[in-house]
Amino acid sequence: MINITLPDNSVRQYEQGVTGLDIARSISEGLARNVLSVKVNGEVWDATRKINSDARVQLLTWEDAEGKETMWHSSAHLMAEAIEQLYPGSKFGIGPAIENGFYYDIDLGDRVLTEAELAEVEKRMLQLAREKQQFVREEVAKTEALRYFTEKGDEYKIELIGDLQDGTITFYKSGTFTDLCRGPHLPDTSFIKAVKLTSIAGAYWRGDEKRKQLTRVYGITFPKAKELEEYLALLEEAKKRDHRKLGKELELFTFSQNVGAGLPLWLPKGAQLRERLEAYLKKVQKEAGYQPVITPHIGNVNLYKTSGHFEKYGSDSFRPITTPVEGEMFFLKPMNCPHHCEIFAHKPHSYKDLPIRYAEFGTVYRYEQSGELHGLTRVRGFTQDDAHIFCTPDQIKDEFKGVIKIIMRIFKALDFKDFITQISLRDPNNPGKYIGSEENWSKAERAIIEVAEEEGLNAIAVEGEAAFYGPKMDFMVRDALGRKWQLGTIQVDYNLPERFDLYYIGSDNEKHRPVMIHRAPFGSMERFVAVLIEHCAGKFPLWLAPEQVIILPISEKYQNYAQKVLSYLQNSDIRALIDERSEKTGRKIRDAELRKIPYMLIVGEKEELEGTVSVRRQGEGDLGTFTMEAFAARIQEEVAIIHQEQ
RNA sequence: GCCGGUGUAGCUCAGUUGGCCAGAGCAGCUGAUUUGUAAUCAGCUGGUCGGGGGUUCGAAUCCCUCCACCGGCUCCA
């Protein structure tokens, strides 16, 4: 007998060789029907795998992330089986579970798989699922594994096996499909009740652009048909929040082929919104001791040779700008730091001057690959809310802290709760690829980690993700469809001060190298606004809304009174307008709701007589009658929230 | 850049076995209506069918090519 400890710390005794499924059955039949896999001493196993010694066991179902992962990983196998049957000779790369579903990379030979054909694959998958095929785990020797895939002619699997360290190699068989796989898997395919193959894409083998491109098929499965429907409905809802759709509907920005791909045109309302964000950040930065600077959009090629950007990225940027002078070349600036370095260098600095913080909403241009462009989140010309802090190594920690405070203040003001903080550190196995002294690096890395803890950030530290010039901290937010975008960033840089030979005079009257911190709380105005739109689904907080109030006169008879209300509001610094159309009130309300204007004021005979307004809040409905003064006060109070937080 | 998909009026979309002057709703304009919490009625205007080339007696529809957009991959200063 062995002792099995369950998550509630109860201990049960079972025969040696008991499986997760057996344990589930001993608790209840219902549970047994829902067990997808089992966690044994922290490792996820097949629910059908024998447990031979005392263990801590957790049964995993659809409710657990690991349960879903098992489901989706098995679904990838099921899809591979279906594809192998439908398109014999297909070779398989990797087929993992992902955040929402799974994919499999497949070499279909000369065959081109189109989206129309996915329905066939889905059908076959459901057929096979109903066959209740068992997933059979089998331990094989490396030579045997190689022999199997050599016979099959699947060079991808051979390569994968070749890379495996010794230890146990396992195969999983289900139906007619055998795969190299660590597992775990479902007990059988019948758990998969609903299948949706969502898209088809090219993916380079092992993520290497120079290697063969395989066909990647994405899909998702569910244990109940209803859950698939719900998932698809959720996707539909998310699409309504897409900033590209809302940006068009709300007339915030547009693109023109005549201007060029990836070059956004901000429409009046979008520009207003952006200017308000900029004004807000300028105010916050002024309080935090930043000094504004302004630099031109182009720079001499020599500037980028000095900074090292020319060598590294010159070929991927917009082509150089030439002049009447033979050999003279300028580049559209891909970043602001070289310019700011020159500003720092324009005169000598004392240690007493540090830290120096130069801030600029600097517009930069980068020739992103055409396939990468994406609404406002990935463009070729964008404005960073950039600043560069020049400080001593000892000041890094405080400066980091100051920047984090600004970022948190902004995120809080805009109600960004779900963000990911990532600290990027050196790769400890490859110290040679970084510039800067060991001492400075560890000092900076320690400072960042400490600040993150002190500020209560739930940051994840990732080794090997640092830039060659310094460690950094990034803030990432998801869009409506769950894609992660990097917004704010704080980066320590030992490289540019070196390259630009920047120095300050220390108390010892000697020259010292300052450290540079690049930072951008929004990241870029374009990307930030995009994510903001998706976050609030176009219903901006009142202080940001391009139009705050719309006055809806019941009929033309009340135009004069509407004008009077308008003047009153405008004098109170409230952004208002009148819907003067000869339409019914219901129509005006509907249109204002769709325009997502926060407040609607209905004015007619009653209001004119009393000097009041009937207030309707977008998305909420009728709030009752207010005097003009009371309404204006309410608005001002709501707007003032942004100025009160600290 | 690569793989797959899409491109018809300002917007959302009909229109493919190739065939009369390419359609609808919304928006816009004109007029009527004078309206009380999510669409008043009527008339009118508006389209190089993404661009270019080709096949054909005839192309929105078939072929080639370029561009843009969508979903991914790679990349990301």
In the 3-class helix/strand/coil scheme, how is A341-378 assigned residue by residue? HHHHHCCCCEHHHCCEEEEEEEEEECCCCHHHCECCCE
Residue A182 pLDDT: 86
Point out the residue nearest to B11 (C-alpha to C1').
Answer: A249
Cβ-contact A262, A378 below 8 angstroms: yes
A29-51 residue pLDDT tens:
888 889 999 999 988 999 989 88
Tokens of A252: 């915030």
Under DSSP, the state recorded for A597 is -
Cβ-contact A210, A190 below 8 angstroms: no
Mean pLDDT in residue range A615-621: 95
Element housing A496 (H / E): helix A495-499
Q: Give the C-alpha separation, A557 to A23, whole Å.
A: 78
Mean pLDDT in residue range A169-175: 90
Residue A441 pLDDT: 85
Q: Give the C-alpha separation, A46 to A330, whole Å.
A: 61
Q: Give the C-alpha separation, A175 to A82, whole Å.
A: 10
Q: Give the C-alpha separation, A113 to A569, whole Å.
A: 60
Residue A458 pLDDT: 86
- Supply the DSSP string of A93-122, one letter for each residue: ----EETTEEEEEEE-TT----HHHHHHHH
Longest dimension (CA), chain A: 93
* Residue reference for tokens 């719900």: A230
Cβ-contact A382, A524 below 8 angstroms: yes
Q: Give the C-alpha separation, A406 to A506, whole Å.
A: 29
Q: Where are the alpha helices (DSSP H) in A99-253?
A: 115-130, 142-152, 155-163, 225-241, 243-249
Q: Give the C-alpha separation, A588 to A114, whole Å.
A: 46
* Residue reference for tokens 């989706």: A72
Residue A432 pLDDT: 74
Angle at A167 (CA atoms; ends A162, A173), nearest 5 degrees: 75
Distance in Å from B33's C1' to A566's CA comes to 26
Nearest to A400 by CA among A515, A487, A524: A515
Tokens of A400: 């980091």
Distance in Å from B4's C1' to A214's CA comes to 12
Tokens of A260: 């060029």
Catalytic-role residue among A58, A133, A384, A491 = A384
| Burial class for A449, CB neighbours closer than 10 Å (0-12, 13-18, 19+) | middle
Q: Give the C-alpha separation, A49 to A106, whole Å.
A: 29
Q: Which of A329-338, A433-442, A571-580 is the least confident region?
A: A433-442
Cβ-contact A513, A497 below 8 angstroms: yes
Q: Give the C-alpha separation, A74 to A134, whole Å.
A: 11
| Residue A12 reports pLDDT greater than 70 | yes
Distance in Å from B57's C1' to A258's CA comes to 37
Confidence band, pLDDT 50/70/90 cuts, at residue A313: confident
Tokens of A258: 């005549």
Residue A171 pLDDT: 92
Q: Is the CB of A292 under 7 A from strand B?
A: no
| Residue A616 reports pLDDT greater than 60 | yes
Residue A257 pLDDT: 86
Per-position b or e across A155-167, b if 16+ CB within 10 A of its CB: ebbbebbeeeeee
- Residue A314's nearest nucleotide, by CA–C1', is B77
Mean pLDDT in residue range A192-212: 89
A250-264 residue pLDDT tens:
999 999 988 899 999
Give, in order, the Cα–Cα distances in Å from A22 to each of A49, A113, A173, A447, A582: 10, 42, 21, 51, 73
Mean pLDDT in residue range A463-469: 83
- Residue A215's nearest nucleotide, by CA–C1', is B3
Nearest to A37 by CA among A54, A52, A19, A55: A19
Distance in Å from B30's C1' to A578's CA comes to 22
Residue A166 pLDDT: 64
A518 among known catalytic residues: yes
Q: For a pLDDT cut of 70, what percent of chain A falls above it? A: 99
Distance in Å from B57's C1' to A112's CA comes to 36
Q: Give the C-alpha separation, A144 to A490, whole Å.
A: 51
Catalytic-role residue among A91, A366, A378, A426 = A366
Give, in order, the Cα–Cα distances in Å from A467 to each of A97, A311, A339, A435, A491: 29, 16, 20, 9, 8
Most confident range (mean pLDDT) of A138-152, A162-176, A356-370 is: A356-370
Cβ-contact A106, A217 below 8 angstroms: yes
| Residue A579 reports pLDDT greater than 90 | yes
- Residue A592's nearest nucleotide, by CA–C1', is B38
Confidence band, pLDDT 50/70/90 cuts, at residue A437: confident
Q: Is the CB of A498 under 7 A from strand B?
A: no
Residue A163 phi/psi, 5-degree rounding, is -85, -15
A103-120 residue pLDDT tens:
999 998 878 887 778 888
* Residue reference for tokens 């055409």: A370
Residue A594 phi/psi, 5-degree rounding, is -65, -30
Nearest to A175 by CA among A161, A160, A186: A186
Structural domains of chain A in order of their starting residue, each with its CATH number? 2-61 (3.10.20.30), 66-235 (3.30.980.10), 253-295+336-535 (3.30.930.10), 549-643 (3.40.50.800)
Q: Could you tell me the sign of the dihedral formed by the alpha carbons of A318, A323, A325, A331, in that order?
A: negative
Q: Is the CB of A593 under 7 A from strand B?
A: yes
Cβ-contact A2, A55 below 8 angstroms: yes
Read off the pTM: 0.91
Q: Which of A152-161, A306-315, A454-463 is the least confident region?
A: A306-315
Q: Could you tell me the sign of the dihedral formed by the alpha carbons of A333, A334, A339, A340, in that order?
A: positive
Looking at the DSSP assignment, which residues form a beta bridge with residue A576?
A549
Q: Is the CB of A27 under 7 A from strand B?
A: no
* A 201-220 residues, CB < 7 A, strand B: 201-204, 207-209, 213, 215-216, 218
Catalytic-role residue among A188, A386, A479, A493 = A386
Q: Give the C-alpha separation, A270 to A89, whole Å.
A: 53
SS3 A624: strand
Q: Is the CB of A607 under 7 A from strand B?
A: yes
SS3 A507: coil
Integer-rounded Cα Rg, in Å, for chain A is 30
* A 364-383 residues, CB < 7 A, strand B: 366-375, 378
Q: Give the C-alpha separation, A245 to A594, whole Å.
A: 13
Point out the residue nearest to B38 (C-alpha to C1').
Answer: A590
Q: Give the C-alpha separation, A643 to A108, whole Å.
A: 59
A643 among known catalytic residues: no
Distance in Å from B72's C1' to A455's CA comes to 37
A405 among known catalytic residues: no
* A 521-560 residues, CB < 7 A, strand B: 554-557
Catalytic-role residue among A124, A357, A388, A409 = A388
Q: What is the mean pLDDT of chain A?
A: 91
Q: Strand B nucleotides below 7 A of a protein CB? A: 1-5, 11-12, 32-40, 67-77
Residue A645 pLDDT: 57
A185 among known catalytic residues: no
- Residue A242's nearest nucleotide, by CA–C1', is B70
Cβ-contact A481, A467 below 8 angstroms: no
Distance in Å from B62's C1' to A214's CA comes to 30
Q: Is the CB of A258 under 7 A from strand B?
A: no
Residue A279 pLDDT: 94
Tokens of A136: 């059979």
Confidence band, pLDDT 50/70/90 cuts, at residue A423: very high
A212-241 residue pLDDT tens:
889 999 999 999 999 998 888 888 888 889
Q: Is the CB of A61 under 7 A from strand B?
A: no
Looking at the DSSP assignment, which residues form a beta bridge with residue A179?
A172
Distance in Å from B71's C1' to A92's CA comes to 22
Residue A644 pLDDT: 65
* Residue reference for tokens 């690049």: A518
Cβ-contact A321, A347 below 8 angstroms: no
Angle at A157 (CA atoms; ends A154, A161), nearest 5 degrees: 140
A366 among known catalytic residues: yes
Mean pLDDT in residue range A92-111: 90
Cβ neighbours for A612, distance < 8 A, ≥ 6 positions apart: A606, A625, A626, A627, A628
Q: Is the CB of A109 under 7 A from strand B?
A: no
A269-281 residue pLDDT tens:
999 999 999 999 9
